[in-house]
Structure formats: C-alpha cells, structure tokens
Amino acid sequence: MLGFLKNILHRKFTPLNLIAINKERLLGNYRALSEVNPNVKVAPVLKSNAYGHGIGLVGKILDEVAAPFICVDSLYEAFQLYSKIEIKTPILIMGYIHPQSLSVKKLPFSFAVYDLEHVKVLDQFQSGARIHIFVDTGMHREGVGMGDLPGFLRELKKLKHIEVEGLMSHLADPAKPESPLTKKQINNFGEARKMVIEAGFTPKWFHMGGTYGLLNGLTVGCNLVRVGRAVFGIDDRDSRALNLKLKPVLRHSTKIVQIKNVEKGEKIGYAGTYTASKDMKIAILPLGYNDGVDRRLSDKGVVMIGEAECPIIGLVSMNITTIDITHVKEPFLGQEVVVFSDNAEDPNSVVNSSKAGGMLAHEMLIHIAESTKRIVV
C-alpha cells in the first residue's frame, strides 16, 4: 500500500493544454534576420511574455546568440530575465518605470528615457545608468518632441552620473517605406542624431525600426533594429519577398475531453449562434478565450486533428471551445488537437487563424494564457 501511494505521489500532472517552443527554429529565425543587413545588429523584443511564447523559455534560448540587447517593456519583465533566468545578455527596458522603483536598489539595465524628471531620478539613484534617448520623430506616441530635444539635451549635459548609450525612435508605418510619414520620420531621426552628437554625446546605438523597418531597408543612420514577431516566425509578405523562410516557433495543442452527437437543427453554445445544418458529431476542448482562443474565432476559426480540419462552432467560451469532428475517423477522448499549428501553410497557423478572426497575429499570440504549460522541443 505504501509503495502504491509513493508511485501516485511521484507522478507528474499531465497538462491538457500544451505549448511547444521549437528551439532550432527560434535560433534559425534570429540568424536569418541577422543576415539581412550585416551592418545592423538585431535586438530581439521579448515584451508581453515574448509575444505569448514564454519570456523565460525564449530568453534562455536567445541568451545564446549574444545579441546587443534583449528588449522588454517593463521592470517586471527585466527581472524575470535577469533574476529568474539569469541571462547574461544586456537588457533594455523600453517602457516607463515609476520613479520610486528606481530608488530601491541598483539596477543592471539600460533605460529608454523621454522625461527629464525621470532621467534626474536615474542620475540620483542609478549612478552610471545607461540610457537611450527616445525621440518622437512623428508617430506622436512616447518620446521627446523634435522641438523639445535641444532643451532636453542641454539639461542632460548637467547630469553627471548617466551614460547616453543610445538614441532611439519608432516608425509609425514601416510597412509603407515610401509614405510621406515614413520619410519624415527617417529625416527627423537624422536630425535628432545630428543634434545629439553636436551636443557632445557619443551614443553607441542608433535604432528606430522593428521587423518591417529591417525588412524594408528603413535603417538609414541606424546600426540596430528591435525585432519582435519575425524572431518567432510570424511571417508576412515582406519576409517572403526576401526569401528568409522564417518558421513559426510555437505549436499549441490540447485534448478532446468530450464527444457527443448533435441532431440537425440543434443550437450550440452561448446564445445558440450556431445551428446544426445536419446530424453531426462534435467535440469539447478544455480551453477558450482565457487560454488564447480568441472569441473572434467563433464560427470562423479551425483546429486540426491529424490532417482533418475541424471548424470552431458556436461562441468560444472562457474555458471551452466546441468543434465539428463529423469528418474525423474514429475520434476518441484524449486525442490531440492542434489549436495553432507551427506549419505556416496550415489553416490554423497563427497568421491564418488571426486573419480568420480579423486581428493581428501578435495580438492573438499575447492573449495565450501565461499559465499554459510551455516546453522547449
């Protein structure tokens, strides 16, 4: 009896929902992006839980590539990488940090800055802090305005305990390299660079582009790009044109937990939005919009069981999704269902699923629950 109990207690839980992260694909995507322009280094962006892939797993893998930086949005994300994963790659925090948080302890990170009071707190409590001046070149989101930059730089010169490590901005419409806004931003960044250097600063890094910026050659005056979705193989027309052959890194799977027959005319799900047009067999999946199956995939998305495409039917619930398995041969409880495929051509790839739901691919990815088990394969 005692031996039986020990066997049970030492067994591991079996997750119903599982995300597999392909290490070789992730590293291969990074290498391919790094070869687009040998004069421009690639800094992977791991904000929002590494675009839903899992910041810990991805950070540990990309720590191998010796990138100039790993970019994150928050102090919390930076500590996830630095303290929990103990990565050696420098970390650039691009988002705002509450000043009080900067006064607690010495932080080994680089900081994007655009507020003078914020910089003064860094100067006071983070002696030797490395900063990247974030200039607003025309997107009119965060950043020091072009007209305010000269005064900002004059005040910055008075501070003695910070190092200007970089100058950065962000492109509003990099998918359209010929647009007046894109051209204006590139010109403004050139002017900002000139102002910074004339003010006596010598930044090592100049960066304003992301994935589209790199793929569309919008790196004039830059030696670094911050790349997010492309590292994860979230392909688009630009990367296909360059024949990079980026490969999706994430595969999301689940298990069938119930099978039932439904007669023609019966309604399925909340509000009965789906009516069976024929006698059909359906399956219940133990995940929903809490787990990353966006509600906009209701009656539009598909999942796959083997080679069979299984439409999502009825409204996606918080933790339950219903699918049509009428054409699946001999379905069974516990059978694997691929929710998001790592084959870019499959109808349930991240890109194709997001198109079906009328959303951005990375918008859908970041809503995959952080609690879902992730493994490296």
Instruction: Write the DSSP string, 29-57.
Output: HHHHHHTT-TTSEEEEB-HHHHHTT-HHH
Q: What does the pLDDT read at residue 241?
A: 46
CA neighbor of 292 nearest in space, from 25, 14, 53: 53
pTM (2 d.p.)? 0.92
Classify domain 250-376 at the CATH topology level: Lyase, Ornithine Decarboxylase; Chain A, domain 1 (2.40.37)
Q: What is the pLDDT along the chain (377 residues), one digit of tens a residue?
A: 555 445 555 667 789 999 999 999 999 999 999 999 999 999 999 999 999 999 999 999 999 999 999 999 999 999 999 988 999 999 999 999 999 999 999 999 999 999 999 999 999 999 999 999 999 999 999 999 999 999 999 999 999 999 999 999 999 988 888 899 999 999 999 999 999 999 999 999 999 988 888 988 899 899 999 999 999 998 765 554 456 789 999 999 999 999 999 999 999 999 999 999 999 999 999 999 999 999 999 999 999 999 999 999 999 999 999 999 999 999 999 999 999 999 999 999 999 999 999 999 999 999 999 999 999 99
Q: What does the pLDDT read at residue 315?
A: 97
Residue 211 CA to residue 361 CA, distance in Å, equals 14
Q: Give me the torsion for CA of 98, 103, 104, 105, rounded to 10°.
A: 120
Cite the residue boundaries of each domain of the chain with CATH code 3.20.20.10: 23-241
Q: What does the pLDDT read at residue 357?
A: 94
Contacts 24+ apart (CB under 8 A), 26-30: 26/58, 26/61, 26/62, 26/231, 26/232, 26/233, 26/249, 27/61, 27/62, 27/64, 27/65, 28/247, 29/230, 29/231, 29/232, 29/233, 29/244, 29/246, 29/247, 29/249, 30/62, 30/65, 30/67, 30/231
Cite the residue boundaries of each domain of the chain with CATH code 2.40.37.10: 250-376
Residue 189 CA to residue 196 CA, distance in Å, equals 10
Q: What separation in angstroms does the CA of 175 have from each of 21, 171, 181, 265, 331?
A: 28, 9, 11, 46, 44
Q: What does the pLDDT read at residue 358?
A: 94
- Other CB atoms within a 10 A radius of the CB of residue 23 amount to 16
CATH C-level class of 23-241: alpha beta
